[in-house]
Amino acid sequence: MKEGKPLNALVEVTLKDDERGDPLITADALVQLGLMSHAEYETVAALTKKIATTIKEDIESKGLVLYDMKVEFGRLDTTGEIVLIDELSAGCMRAYKNGVIVSPLELDKLILG
């Protein structure tokens, strides 16, 4: 695949495991290991796409192209509901302006205006 080729809202899941370098895991493995159900995976994927699309559209108005981003989900103790558990900031995304990657500090300035 050519670097920079647009992907249609590709969702990858990694385990939050610093010792193992946050390894990639498949939806089937998540289910078989009892970490989440297929329905919960679909919820996470749909939320990820919705969040990324919203941010992508917003920063495009500032002349930026969203390349990728990271979002973290967890469960509420009380209900088990899947929710976004981490901030959405320039530090969790990569974006380009005029074909050049923008540093997180500069990206933060450009986003916030």
> For the chain, what is the mean pLDDT?
91
- pLDDT single digits (tens) 37-51: 999 999 999 999 999
Per-residue CA distances from 76 to 57, 62, 72, 73, 79 (Å): 29, 35, 13, 10, 6
Q: Is the per-residue pLDDT at 68 higher than 80?
A: yes
**How does pLDDT run across 72-99, given as a tens digit for each residue?**
999 999 998 999 998 889 889 999 999 9
- What confidence score (pLDDT) does residue 17 get? 87
Q: Which domains does the chain have, with CATH numbers?
A: 13-112 (3.30.470.20)
